[in-house]
């Protein structure tokens, strides 16, 4: 296995996660220090940090004696020593041949494999993907599936697929060491053991990470519903989500009591759910997405919430600002290091809910110069209440096309999310208020025309470019009483209740 580390940034939170998994499996990674061509690259420092990470994660003596190589993926070369002349990637391939052991396994032993991932095909159904540990298999063979509870069932192999470069190809047989996709086992799940019927064994099950975040997928009820998308009904949404669950088994789908216009989807973080939403969007689905909520659990009477390990890189002058922000969000500073180039690297442990809505603020607070990444760490006792978004929003009071004159006058109230000519509707969020309360505004108001004119009396309309959201940023931004309207061509923010009277009534209730 290759452990890829940025020669400038060093090990990231995701590096810790994948290295921990590799070490637990007894693997001895080859460390590849990439991006050595960058101006501020410090490959020796990154290598020392990698060694410290190996120690911290409990690597044994053999694993600590890892091989390493320097590379530049952008320029397409690898070198064994920093003083070597760069040519091509041959040194990396040579190192793999000498340092990586051949795959274990004996072709003469009975067939044995564990399903590492699951895929889904509309024609053959669920498919088990993994590496054959022992023996060989051919199309039409009988095998035994052993689930995590020890239950046995026999199946006939319908299809075997292997890989040729990046392509998936159908093959007639495969043997120990091959990575294959097997069809013909309808109920197969991650961690199930597939073995020969005359030699039934059960391998240790694979533990899946628990869902940490949930969102509600709702029917799009905005005035623009159905204008872009093809699939807009709850039945279509439910059918698509259930199909996704067959392959994406870390996804959890729940019906919401007393609601037939929404369904709750739980995943392993905002990005996990955003990838699904983006895929559905490209398939011509329309939907409205609620603000993500963390999933808590109770252990011995104590409420536990998900925590994330956060890696932050900012210019030194912004480090105090970030520490203050994340401390306010119940974060704990674990390490801090400033390089000779004035770049400060920090590690925090922060509740997942503390990061919701912060990534947008982080870019603003660091003038776009900061980098923030995070990965799930563990569950920890509930950290108490924390403040949410500090600014209100500007809400359109009517439908139509946004007018430049109206937007020009709204600029002093806050920052805008729309430009002249954009279609808006009542209840749509058209900007961020400069204060902490929501403000209902008229974004389509035109300048009153008269037949009296004086030279130079008209003001020149100068508009600041509107703030545009990606899907992840929009989901990150919204408050509890807001939704993200997702269509194939547009991402809009809106209030849960579109009219002002409905919002007042809901506030009283």
pLDDT for residue 405: 87
Q: Does domain 112-195 have CATH number 3.30.750.200?
A: no
- Average pLDDT score, the chain: 89
Q: 213-294 belongs to which homologous superfamily?
A: Elongation Factor G (Translational Gtpase), domain 3 (3.30.70.870)
pLDDT for residue 233: 92
Rounded Cα distance, 416 and 394, in Å: 8
Paired with 147 in beta bridges are none
Question: In CATH terms, are 213-294 and 300-381 the same topology?
Answer: yes
Q: Judge whether residue 452 has pLDDT over 70.
A: no
Q: Domain 300-381 falls in which CATH fold?
A: Alpha-Beta Plaits (3.30.70)
Q: Judge whether residue 69 has pLDDT over 90.
A: yes
Lowest mean pLDDT among 14-28, 186-200, 222-236, 413-427: 14-28
Rounded Cα distance, 185 and 69, in Å: 42
Q: Which tens digits make up the pLDDT trace of 364-387?
A: 888 888 888 888 888 999 988 887
CA 157, 163, 168, 173: dihedral to nearest 10 degrees?
-30
Q: Judge whether residue 182 has pLDDT over 90.
A: yes
Q: How confident is the model at residue 458 (pLDDT cuts 50, 70, 90)?
A: low
Q: Which tens digits make up the pLDDT trace of 70-112?
A: 999 999 999 999 998 889 999 999 999 998 888 788 889 999 9
Spatial contact of 11 and 53, defined as CB atoms under 8 Å apart: yes
CA distances for 233 relative to 230, 237, 251, 288, 425, angstroms? 9, 6, 21, 11, 21
Rounded Cα distance, 174 and 195, in Å: 14
pLDDT for residue 143: 94
Percent of the chain's residues with pLDDT above 90: 50
Q: Is the pTM of this model over 0.85?
A: no
Q: Judge whether residue 454 has pLDDT over 60.
A: no
Residue in 171, 188, 166, 179 with CA at minimum distance from that of residue 119: 188
pLDDT for residue 24: 84
Q: Does domain 393-450+458-485+493-508 have CATH number 2.40.50.1020?
A: no
Residue 36, phi then psi, degrees to nearest 5: -70, -10
Mean pLDDT within 222-246: 90
pLDDT for residue 377: 87
Q: Which CATH number fits the domain 2-99, given the four candidates 4.10.220.20, 3.40.630.30, 4.10.520.10, 3.40.50.300?
A: 3.40.50.300
Q: Domains of the chain: which residue ranges?
A: 2-99, 112-195, 213-294, 300-381, 393-450+458-485+493-508
């Amino acid at each position: 296995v290759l452990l890829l580390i940025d020669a400038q940034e060093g090990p990231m939170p995701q590096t810790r996660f994948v290295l921990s998994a590799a070490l637990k499996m007894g693997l001895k990674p080859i460390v590849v220090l990439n991006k050595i061509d960058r101006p501020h690259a410090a490959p020796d420092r990154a290598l020392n940090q990698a060694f410290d990470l190996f120690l911290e994660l409990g690597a044994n003596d053999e694993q600590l004696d890892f091989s390493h190589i320097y590379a530049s993926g952008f320029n397409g070369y690898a070198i064994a020593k920093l003083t070597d002349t760069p040519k091509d990637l041959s040194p990396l391939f040579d190192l793999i041949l000498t340092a990586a052991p051949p795959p274990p396994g004996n072709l003469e032993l009975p067939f044995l494999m564990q399903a590492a991932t699951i895929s889904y095909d509309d024609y053959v159904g669920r498919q088990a993907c993994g590496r054959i540990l022992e023996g060989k298999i051919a199309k039409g063979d009988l095998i035994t599936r052993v689930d995590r509870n020890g239950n046995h069932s026999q199946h006939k192999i319908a299809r075997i697929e292997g890989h040729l470069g990046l392509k998936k190809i159908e093959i007639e047989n495969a043997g120990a060491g091959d990575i294959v996709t097997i069809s013909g086992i309808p109920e197969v799940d991650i961690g199930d053991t597939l073995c020969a019927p005359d030699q039934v064994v059960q391998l240790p099950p694979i533990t899946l990470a628990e869902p940490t975040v949930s969102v509600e997928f709702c029917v799009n009820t905005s005035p623009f519903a159905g204008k872009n998308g093809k699939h807009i009904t709850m039945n279509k949404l439910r059918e698509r989500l259930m199909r996704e669950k067959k392959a994406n088994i870390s996804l959890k789908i729940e019906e919401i009591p007393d609601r037939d216009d929404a369904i709750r989807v739980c995943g392993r973080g905002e990005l996990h759910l955003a990838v699904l939403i983006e895929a559905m969007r490209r398939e011509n689905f329309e939907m409205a997405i609620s603000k993500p909520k963390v999933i808590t659990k109770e252990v011995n009477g104590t409420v536990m919430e998900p925590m994330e390990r956060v890696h932050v890189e900012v210019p030194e002058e912004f480090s105090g600002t970030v520490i203050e922000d994340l401390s306010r969000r119940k974060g704990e500073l674990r390490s801090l290091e400033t390089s000779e180039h004035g770049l400060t690297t920090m590690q925090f442990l922060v509740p997942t809910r503390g990061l919701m809505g912060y990534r947008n603020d982080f870019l603003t607070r660091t003038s776009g110069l900061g980098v923030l990444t995070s990965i799930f760490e563990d569950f920890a006792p509930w950290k108490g209440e924390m403040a949410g978004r500090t600014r209100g929003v500007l809400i359109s009071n009517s439908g139509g096309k946004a007018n430049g004159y109206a937007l020009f006058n709204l600029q002093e109230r806050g920052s805008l999310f729309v430009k002249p000519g954009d279609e808006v509707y009542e209840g749509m969020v058209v900007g961020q208020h400069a204060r902490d309360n929501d403000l209902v505004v008229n974004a389509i108001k035109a300048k009153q025309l008269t037949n009296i004119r004086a030279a130079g009396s008209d003001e020149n309309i100068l508009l600041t470019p509107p703030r545009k959201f990606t899907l992840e940023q929009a989901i990150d931004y919204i408050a509890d009483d807001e939704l993200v309207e997702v269509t194939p061509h547009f991402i809009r923010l809106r209030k849960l209740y579109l009219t002002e009277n409905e919002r007042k009534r809901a506030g009283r209730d």
